[in-house]
Amino acid sequence: MADKQDDDAMYTINEGDYVVLKRGDIFKAVQIQSRKKMAFEKQWFFLDNAVGHLYGTTFEILPGGSLQPQKQKDALSSTDAMEAGTDNRNIVDDGKSQKLTRDDIETLKEQGLKGQEIIQQLIDNSSTFRDKTEYAQDKYIKKKKKKYESTVSILKPTCRILALMYHGREPGKICHLRYDTLAQMLTLANIHAGSKVLVFETCAGLVLGAVMERMGGYGSVIQMYPGGGPVRAGVESFGFPPPFHDTLHDFPICQVNALLAGTLDTSAKDPNTADATHPHVAAEETATQPATVQRDGPEEASMDTNASGHCGDQRVDEERERGKEAKAELKRAKQEQRRKRLEAAAAQLEGRNADGLVIASRFHPCPVLMSLLRFLAPSRPFVVYSQYKEPLVDCFTKLKEQGGTVNLRLTDTWLRHYQVLPNRTHPVLLMSGGGGYLLSGTTVATEQSAPATSAADLSQEPAPKRLKASES
Amino acid sequence: MSFVEYSDIIQDGDVAIVYLGHDSMMPIKVQHGAQTQTRYGAIRHSTDLIGQRYGLKVTCTKGGWVHVLHPTPELWTVTLPHRTQILYTTDISVITMMLELKPGSVVCESGTGSGSLSHAILRTVAPTGHLHTVEFHQQRAEKAAEEFREHRVDHLVTVRNQDVCKEGFGVTGVADAVFLDIPSPWEAVGHAKAAMKRHGGRVCSFSPCIEQVQRTCEALAKHSFQEISTMEVLLRTHDVRTVSLPLPDFGPDDTAQKKETPSKQAVFMLKTTTPPREIPGHTGYLTFATKPRT
């Protein structure tokens, strides 16, 4: 059916795709590149054979590093036929129950035995396996599977998968933002298609990508960035189609005050890049000069007359000129591009009618929040993430003093996973210690003469208790 | 106004949220000539609301004031009239992300209940997605459909009054995600699978009791669902407080460098947070799974 083919196209792995490798609970975001060796979970392989297969496929890693789609799972997991004990009172842990040595196992691996087969060997050579209870056998097999199965699944990237990945692999890069906290942020900020959202983050682009995913390519996202340029490595991992990037703008926060004051000059040279490009251009020029001279060198040498030597010099000069011209053109084009981007972003911000604000960075959130709130329309949500609670207490206090916001809430979420198995259901042993804190609220129309206390403004803080008079 | 798109000006027929103070809000239907009574006096819709900007401060007849906010699914969740126990934003947020919902997603849900999650789903899948929601209680199904119309989201949702365990969701092979919040979710797992796209998708079941979770996980495994994972998420609120702790008097201290005034009782002021007296400790367990390609 034509439909079937079209549908499949959407779910097929292509070269150049950004994907996520998965084994068990371990994820890694990579790009499919032919003949590129991938390292994942102590194994090395090539993704070439994955191209053309469907997302979600699990592959066997063959010796040599090529991938092969995994066939139907064998019934290793069924332990019904195996005999089992009733408890562990007679099982002695002397480290000698497994007869196979490390070398034996290595040999088996080299012989090309699949994970399933190695595990079967381990079971057969374990003197205590038969005495374990069924549950212990189950646990043993699961553990060995984790260690010896050499499979990898290839998944389409989603916010859920990338958030899990970053939190598990590189939490420091995302300010220790746990995935459920990110989930709260996206919902509390009412991120949806068609809105205009401001994002300030130093979470490797994960938060930005998550916001973009929830906007579906509709509306616009303006990334406010500190320093020289926006960091967006994480956004690539989402594998958005090109039109999505048209909705993404960026604006340097060092220009925010100018924009708010109405004095932003987009034609001015960006102070960060002006100094940077000049030495570069100079260096490039000097680098090309010897090259051009060298190229003409042998030609010069082959000519004997003065006249031809003079022609050679002229050619060198012309080449040099053209080189300089090209460089200058490129620089001008880039500057023009940068200026256009800045203008476009400024146009989005000037109206001060953004629909949402999301802040998640290693910077102290207070100044960022107080400054960027001014770009929000009234009756719109904002969410601030901080790894620590105190900076958000500061934000809360400042917001209360200033007015202009309601529904302020300082929260964090507690997340617990469960193992659910017959007669073995319980919370998982290790819990995530902390996932960061959130401050959320809604803007309201600001008024000059709004007094701090009023009948309707039920302060969230009850008055501090009056102290009893001292009796000394 | 709509629950899936912001607008700036309050209009006749809108649903707006009146913010009275912390933890005190109520929804109103804006109508020419109507009045809403609050503890601060009356709000006159025609003069105070219609044509004004969302977010404005309205001074009520008795002199106190309120703010009028644009509705969002989050504000709706805490102000909607309950017909059943509802899902709150904390669980809704995790469900939205773990089901990988986004614009264009097609979602099946049962039971509709009071529509708390439904509104959040609609906001996320708009403008190109769709929600198929099933509710076996006739009045609740009708009330939900009425609300979706009032909230200008009815083009994105189909409400069916039937029993999902017996008749399924009314569609097959179209859903990217399925959500179950019913007493016996294990009876609907097969229907969930049928409603989902052949290529695969995500499923979530919400149950307050662990026994329900166990039966559901078993059913999911039997139907070849993968990545079965159960969790719970709780919200902890931190109330900001300025606290003064009295410092005890140990008597005059000759060795002290500074001369202290013994008559004045010293205090230590600090800004901190305290947990509320009681926190919602449990709502339900969330079980997620992935349907593989079939």
Query: What is the structure's pLDDT at A104?
Result: 86
Query: What is the structure's pLDDT at A332?
Result: 92
CB contact (8 A) between residue B67 and residue A420: no
* Confidence category of residue B281, pLDDT binned at 50, 70, 90: confident
Q: What is the pLDDT of residues B85-134, one digit of tens each?
A: 999 999 999 999 999 999 999 999 999 999 999 999 999 999 999 999 99
Query: What is the structure's pLDDT at A78?
Result: 52
Query: What is the structure's pLDDT at A74?
Result: 53
* Whole-number Å distance between alpha carbons of B144 and B148: 6
By the CB < 8 Å criterion, does B279 face chain A?
no
Query: What is the structure's pLDDT at B67?
Result: 97
Query: What is the structure's pLDDT at A292?
Result: 39
Query: What is the structure's pLDDT at A456?
Result: 41
Looking only at Cα atoms, what is the longest distance across chain B?
Answer: 86
Among candidates B94, B97, B198 on the partner chain, residue whose Cβ is nearest the Cβ of A159: B97
* Strand-pair partners of B242: B271
By the CB < 8 Å criterion, does A420 face chain B?
yes
Report mean pLDDT in 10-residue bins for chain A, 472 residues. 62 94 94 93 91 93 86 56 83 87 85 81 88 89 85 96 95 96 98 97 97 97 92 92 94 94 76 42 39 40 46 78 88 91 94 97 97 97 97 97 96 95 89 89 75 42 49 40
Chain B interface, best mutation among A407, A415, A419, A468, by max B CB count within 10 A:
A407
What single-letter amino acid sits at A306? N
Q: By three-state DSSP, how is residue B270 classified?
A: strand
Query: What is the structure's pLDDT at A71?
Result: 78
* Confidence category of residue B280, pLDDT binned at 50, 70, 90: confident
Query: What is the structure's pLDDT at A148?
Result: 83
Q: Are A410 and B199 in contact (CB under 8 A)?
A: no
Q: Is the pLDDT of residue B241 over 80?
A: yes
**pTM to 2 decimal places:** 0.87
Q: Is the pLDDT of residue B196 over 80?
A: yes
Query: What is the structure's pLDDT at B220?
Result: 98
By the CB < 8 Å criterion, does B10 face chain A?
no
By the CB < 8 Å criterion, does A187 face chain B?
yes
Q: What ipTM was estimated for this complex?
A: 0.95
Higher pLDDT, A72 or B266: B266
Query: What is the structure's pLDDT at A6?
Result: 56
By the CB < 8 Å criterion, does B173 face chain A?
no
Higher pLDDT, B250 or A279: B250
By the CB < 8 Å criterion, does B261 face chain A?
no
CB contact (8 A) between residue A415 and residue B262: no
How many Å lie between the alpha carbon of A186 and the closest alpha carbon of chain B? 7
Query: What is the structure's pLDDT at B238?
Result: 96
Query: What is the structure's pLDDT at A97?
Result: 87
Query: What is the structure's pLDDT at A166?
Result: 96
Chain B residues within an 8 Å CB radius of A445: 53, 55-57, 67
Pairing outcome for strands A356-360 and A248-252: unpaired
